[in-house]
Amino acid sequence: MPVIGMGTASYPPVDAGTLKSAIVEAIRAGYRHFDTAFIYGSEQPIGAAIAEALNIGLIKSRNELFITSKLWCTYAEPDLVIPAIKMSLENLQLEYLDLYLIHWPLKFSKKVSRLPVPKEEVSVIDIKTVWSAMEECQLLGLTKVIGVSNFSSRKLEEILSLAKIPPAVNQVEMNPLWQQKELNEYCKAKGIHVSAHSPLGSKGTLWGDNRIFDCHALKEIAEAKGKTIAQICLRWVYEQGASVIAKSFNKKRMEENLEIFDWSLSVEELEKIRVLPQCKINSIGTFIEPSAELEAQL
**Which of the residues are catalytic?**
40
**Cα dihedral 4, 73, 141, 67 in deg (nearest 10):** -20
CA distance 110 to 178: 32
Q: 107-108 and 122-123: which strand pairing?
A: antiparallel
Cα 77 to Cα 101, 105, 131, 179: the distances in Å are 14, 12, 10, 32
Is the Cβ–Cβ distance between 69 and 134 less than 8 Å? no
Is the Cβ–Cβ distance between 241 and 174 less than 8 Å? no
User: Measured between alpha carbons, how far apart are the two ends of the chain, in Å?
Assistant: 28
Three-class DSSP labels, 213-233: CCCHHHHHHHHHHCCCHHHHH
**Cα dihedral 92, 98, 103, 105 in deg (nearest 10):** 150
188 SS3 class: helix
